[in-house]
Amino acid sequence: MGLLRILDVNINYRLKSKVVKAVRNFSLDVNEGDIIGIIGESGSGKSTLAHGLMRILPKNGNMEAAEIVLNGRDISKISDAEFDELRWVEMSIVFQKAMSVLSPVHKIFDQMYDTILAHRPETRKEEAKEKLLGLLSVVNLPSEILKMYPHELSGGMMQRIMICLSLIFNPRLVILDEVTTALDVITQGQLLDEIDRLVKEFGLTVMMITHDIGVVNELCTKIAILYAGELLELGNVKDVIFSPFSPYTKALVESHPDLNPHGSGLKGIPGTLPDLVNPPEGCVFYDRCIYREDRCMERKPDLVDFGKRKVKCLRAGEING
Ligand SMILES: Nc1ncnc2c1ncn2[C@@H]1O[C@H](COP(=O)(O)OP(=O)(O)OP(=O)(O)O)[C@@H](O)[C@H]1O
Ligand SMILES: [Mg+2]
């Protein structure tokens, strides 16, 4: 069943003399129970999209959307006060810079309790503690952690705390922005297992933002490939990773040590993202694409529906093998 429908989202940042067009014409349907990986290299607009959806863009950021339907309600049209009611409750986020969210001078429980009180002032301490202990056990954290200060926690523990915090009000949708990025491989693996368990136990739907296609392959059911603010490919994880239709997806897979089908001959992707102040009129990946043809530069390809997946490339499906 459809939980979130994002239609034609555009997000800009105003700077002194120019406008950065960070996300352009982005659409996505998220079904209940999906674990959808949003992947793209640094600067492709992943956090921007997440912040736009949560309505927490910085002052110079502006989002326009044809519609954003969450649980059957178009939340792109509601007032800020109405949005405050649903943020964290229906949809929450774990920030990319999670560490900076916690205050260094207060114990973990006090901070989490304060967060609960901000939305539910009537909550008793024991009630909050019970809820938190339930969440902590799913992410393998001991109860003693509640008495600790943030600096006493490892990076992995901190991320687990932030995930618990995001789930306090039982949102059905949670956006995880690079939650595994700063962790060692073992901790990352444990955290992915725990997220998987949370999804099953709480019936969560997850948007997992990452630049690591390996993480998406391990955890996610669907994948959306974002490049320079545009959606280039969308589909089931295994279909897309093991038979990419977009040259950019193919290059991403080939530049991953565990997924590269050609064994050890890792390929990078030479070049950099295009200028987002003046994004290209044709295909946004043109400059770096080894399959490009002149026609790709002339006009922007449509996002074409191939049944189980959508792809934005004039040569979609031709490039395999
Ligand atoms: N407050 C801002 N003002 C102006 N430009 C911004 C602002 N925040 C982000 N940008 C620009 O928007 C684009 C997208 O940035 P964003 O942080 O969303 O990328 P990202 O995909 O999350 O990257 P990363 O993987 O590094 O987290 C970049 O070009 C970035 O420089
Ligand atoms: Mg980011």
Q: What is the pLDDT of residues 228-259, one digit of tens each?
A: 999 999 999 999 999 999 999 999 999 888 88
- How many CB atoms within 10 Å of residue 64? 11
Domain enclosing residue 269, as ranges: 221-321
**Mean pLDDT value of segment 128-153:** 91
Same-domain status, 196 and 296: no
Cα distance between residue 210 and residue 32, in whole Å: 20
Q: Answer yes or no: do 48 and 186 share one domain.
A: yes
- Confidence bin at 265 (pLDDT 50/70/90): low
Per-residue pLDDT, 185: 85
Q: Ligand 2 (ion): which residues have CB within 5 A?
A: 46-47, 96
Distance CA 221, CA 201 (A): 17
**Around Cβ 36, how many Cβ atoms within 10 Å?**
24
Domain boundary among 180, 201, 220: 220
Interatomic CA distance for residues 50 and 53, integer angstroms: 5
pLDDT score for 119: 86
DSSP three-state, residue 302: coil
Mean pLDDT of the chain: 92
Closest Cα to atom 2, ligand 1: which residue?
13
Of 310, 313, 279, 270, the C-alpha closest to 295 is: 313
Q: Are residues 196 and 267 in the same domain?
A: no
- Residue 100 pLDDT > 80, yes or no? no
Distance 179 CA to ligand 1 centre (A): 17
Pocket test for ligand 1, best of 39, 48, 216 (most atoms within 8 A of CB): 48
Whether residue 209 is found in the same domain as residue 257: no
Distance CA 166, CA 183 (A): 19
Q: What domain count does the chain have?
A: 2
Sign of CA dihedral 292, 295, 301, 307: negative
Same domain, 97 and 236: no
Of 204, 220, 236, the position where a domain reaches its end is 220
What value does the mean pLDDT take over residues 8-16? 97
Task: Report the pLDDT value the prediction gives residue 317, as an integer from 0 to 100.
Answer: 77
Q: Are 67 and 104 in contact (CB under 8 A)?
A: no
226 in the same domain as 207: no
Which residue CA neighbors atom 30 of ligand 1 most closely? 43
Element (H, E) at 70: strand 61-70
Q: Is 56 in the pocket of ligand 1 (CB under 6 A)?
A: no
Is 45 touching ligand 1 by the criterion CB < 6 Å?
A: yes
Residue 113, pLDDT above cutoff 90: yes
272 Cβ contact partners less than 8 Å away, ≥ 6 residues apart: none
Question: So what's the pLDDT on residue 263?
Answer: 67
| CA-proximal residue: ligand 1, atom 25 (nearest) | 42
pLDDT at residue 264 greater than cutoff 70: no
Q: How far apart are CA 26 and CA 232, in angstroms?
A: 10
Average the pLDDT over 43-48 and give the result: 96
Q: Same domain for 197 and 235?
A: no
Does one domain contain both 244 and 156? Answer: no
Which residue do the tokens 């949670």 mark? 174
Domain co-membership, 175 together with 118: yes
The pLDDT assigned to 55 comes to 97
Task: Tell the residue nearest (CA) to atom 3 of ligand 1.
Answer: 13
Question: Both 196 and 226 in a single domain?
Answer: no
State which amino acid sits at residue 288: R
Which CATH number is 182's domain given?
3.40.50.300
pLDDT at residue 220 greater than cutoff 80:
yes
Residue 57, pLDDT score:
97
Q: How far is the CA of 178 from the centre of ligand 2 (A)?
A: 7
- Residues 194, 244 share a domain: no
Spacing, Cα 281 to ligand 1 middle (Å): 21
- Which amino acid type is present at position 132? L
Q: Do the beta carbons of residue 30 and residue 207 sit within 8 Å?
A: yes
CA-nearest residue for atom 12, ligand 1, is 22
pTM greater than 0.85 (yes/no): yes
Q: How far is the CA of 48 from the centre of ligand 1 (A)?
A: 6
Q: In whole angstroms, what is the distance from residue 264 CA to residue 176 CA?
A: 31
Residues 113 and 162 in one domain: yes
Q: In what order do the strands lie in the sheet with 304-305?
A: 91-94, 173-177, 205-210, 35-39, 222-227, 230-236, 310-311, 304-305
